[in-house]
Structure 1
Amino acid sequence: MEESPIRHYASAQSYLLPADSLETARLNLQHCIITKAFEDRLALAPVHLKPNDRVLESGAGTGIWALEFSAFGAQNNSLLDIECIDISDKQFPLKYPTNIHFSIQSVTNLPVEWKNSFSYVHQRLLVTAMNDSRWNQTINQLFDVLAPGGWVELVEVESANLGYGVGPYSKRLVSLITSLYKAKGVIGNLGVYLPNLLEKVGFVDIHCESRRVPIHRSHNNDGLNRSKQYYDLWMGIKAPVLAGGGYGIVENETEYDQLLQGCLNEWDESNVATTTYYTIVARKP
């Protein structure tokens, strides 16, 4: 049997997913899937940006969103000053425009000199890095760095009511994920949790949109392999699962690999396996 690649984890304690070339490919595919789900829109916030306005992308990963958002702004004669942060630089692009800046930062502790300086903040899929305490720190930090009237946009995935347990393998995976998230303090119902937290911190004009996305090899013949993206997602979380003893579902790496292969087969044969993405926008008064 082919040996599994050694994965690099930036922070095994606070983030469950790796930061390496395999994860880079998955994140770029995930970006396409999410953007397609929201009608090819990179941003839903009703923000009107002017040249040189500052934009913050939190959890930038590969930087693909910032690169596309910058290009869109340039096409509309609006060169934006985009700051991209992540807890690891392993996936930052090697080449990028001079108006985009990448740095290692945690969104739970942003530089004090950034206070009131950003017109727009975009953050995507930090669910596996967060518990209640870190979410509170994050939303307070984002409120502080936004300029008055600025918008925050949070893109997250439903992680409480999982819609992809459609057969014996994937139902076991759902049980495993539920146990893993409980052990790590991951907040699942973000479509409800985040709007409430945003209001508590002081944001206004809070709006949440959701999209249910089929998990299938190719939905609508658009060439985006959604089932493989989900397979790669949970393959990336194999190390934390095994470190947690398999949560009563698997006992070793071989069993985990077999479980995920069974899930992939079930998803490709299913017309009902889905996941739900949320985009939540809010304005700082």
Structure 2
Amino acid sequence: MTVSEREYYDPATTNYWLPIDEIEQDRLDEIHFALKDLYDGNVLTKTHCLLRKGMKILDVGCGPATWLLDMAMSFQKCEFTGVDLSKDMFPNIKPNNVELVIADVLQGLPFEDGTFDFVHMRLLCRAFKKDEWETVFRELLRVTKPGGYIESLESDIRGETKLSKIFIDLSEQHDQNPRIAIHIGEILTKLGANIIQTDERSVNLGNNDILAAKFLSMIKHSIESLIPFIRPYLDLKEGDDPSSAIQELLDELKASEQKSVFIAYLAQKPE
């Protein structure tokens, strides 16, 4: 559906409340490369050592498939599959070792038990409700081979800035947990997986360096994507230019040296 000239999923079909248009594709590309810089690569250090020729790799919630395409170039002998709710952001051109499938993990993935050696999922804290995460990871474990691996990465919303409070409040309104990142290890352990690596990294947005600039740009574009939801918090009416209000939010992040925090987990399914 169209809201303020941006395309969004129908809320009757999914709880994902970010756009699904070309502007959003650019934002997701930007996030991919910022996270690649933050984590010194596309996967955790222990994951990188595990990847080998012939592995079948799944990316859940792949969006424009930026992670998949980048990985497929680095691991050309592996087979990659990406799933998302629609094909709206799928790329028109892809390498032969990448397949893209429309699927909803909450409805069950269209794969047999134990299909994949490695399953990857990240940045879906605005897609699932609080009580859906266990269902999601149970399904990821189902399609993972015995002895295979799952890697998950999510942001952890912390701090007392106005923007943090806005995101926390909006998450609660959507029955989502803005701090789900700190609980994912517990969920995976409860479902029988073994945590191999936990890697928390952060960016001080008050720093005057390239990485902080990248993440501030990413946050700016995230705010712009969510303006229809954030407008009431900024005392903006429909049609008002949000530029000054957005800049005030960013200035507070820098002045308070707010940290942008991410937590990644690598888990192994028992043999």
Distance in 1, Cα, partners of 2:138 & 2:50: 23
Aligned to 1:168: none
Structure 1 segment 1-285 matched on structure 2, within 5 A = 6-12=5-11, 13-46=14-47, 48-74=50-76, 79-111=77-109, 113-159=111-157, 161-162=158-159, 165=161, 171=162, 173-215=163-205, 220-221=209-210, 225-241=214-230, 246=232, 250=235, 252-253=237-238, 254=240, 258-267=244-253, 270=255, 272-285=257-270
TM-score (norm 2): 0.87
CA–CA distance in structure 2, aligned partners of residues 70 and 219 of structure 1 = 33
Tell me the alpha carbon deviations over residues 106-143 of structure 1, each in whole angstroms, 9 at most, x when there is no partner: 12233354311100011110001112222111011001
Identity percentage over the alignment? Answer: 21
Instruction: Summarize deviations over 1:143-188 as a string: whole Å, max 9, x none.
Output: 10000011000011002x237x2xxxxx2x3332222111111112
Q: CA RMSD in A?
A: 2.5
User: Quick one: which amino acid aligns to residue 159 of structure 2?
Assistant: L
CA distance, structure 1, for counterparts of residue 149 and residue 118 of structure 2: 5
Label 1:55 to 1:11 Cα distance change in 2 as closer, same or farther (>3 A). Answer: farther
Q: Structure 1's 11 and 240: CA in aligned 2 closer, same or farther, altered over 3 A? A: farther
Long gaps (5+) in structure 1: 166-170
2:203–2:211 contact (8 Å) kept in structure 1: no
Amino acid at match of 1:54: K
Moved more, 199-208 or 251-260: 251-260
Q: Deviations over 1:87-113 (max 9, x none)?
A: 122211111111100111112233354
Q: State the distance in 2 between where 1:152 and 1:45 align.
A: 12
User: What secondary structure is seen at the aligned counterpart in 2 of 1:32?
Assistant: helix
Q: Which region of structure 1 is more displaced relative to structure 2, 219-228 or 5-14? A: 219-228
Distance 1:113 1:261 in 2: 45
Shift of the 219–282 alpha-carbon distance from structure 1 to 2, 3 Å rule, reads farther
Distance across 2 between alignment mates of 1:178 and 1:271 = 18
Partners of 1:5 and 1:143 lie apart in 2 by: 39
Letter in 2 for 1:201: L
Gaps of 5+ in 2: none
Change (3 A) 1:94 1:112: closer
